[in-house]
Amino acid sequence: MSIVKIRDKEFRTFIPESEIQERVKAVADRINVELADKNPLFLAVLNGSFMFAADLMRYVTIPCEISFVKLASYQGTVSSGTVKEVIGINEDLTGRTVVILEDIVDTGFTMKRMLETLGTRGPESLHICTLLLKPGKLQVPLNIEYVAMEIPNDFIVGYGLDYDQQGRNLRDIYTLVD
């Protein structure tokens, strides 16, 4: 187990890269079976999901497309509670199978906003795929079909997740040292 210092906080290894890759592959395997004939459009939520999206796409073997949307709802180590769309969606979603790729779902407010926004664009179906889920923090009922890992309410960093924009480049996922 290693310790890293990011800005004013210390973090310890929580989920090693090898376990992350196993779980991402398992999710991709399910998608490959369940959405085989759908030509899904993956919408990766930036910035946090970029590593997850890249790795997942390497394991997805079915015809598919990927695009990106950027939302902001975090400030430091806590959710601001407000979701602000920064970069919109340019693709026509009419009749499409859309899979939202998120790094982490905690309160669910960001995902609820995404579903509301995308639902007005006429998709055939909307699916949620997240690397991490904090079930103990979820405040909105969501059907999250694809979850790589469930975690406790700890603040985490690494593998695309950040603390004040730092630490996204770490290969493992780290948790805050108390």
CB neighbour list of residue 57: distance below 8 Å, 6 or more residues apart: 42, 64, 66
CB 175 within 8 A of CB 163: no
106 is catalytic: yes
Catalytic residue among 103, 106, 162, 172: 106
DSSP state of 178: -
Residue type (1 letter), 78: V
- Is the Cβ–Cβ distance between 102 and 131 less than 8 Å? yes
Question: Mind telling me the catalytic residues?
Answer: 106
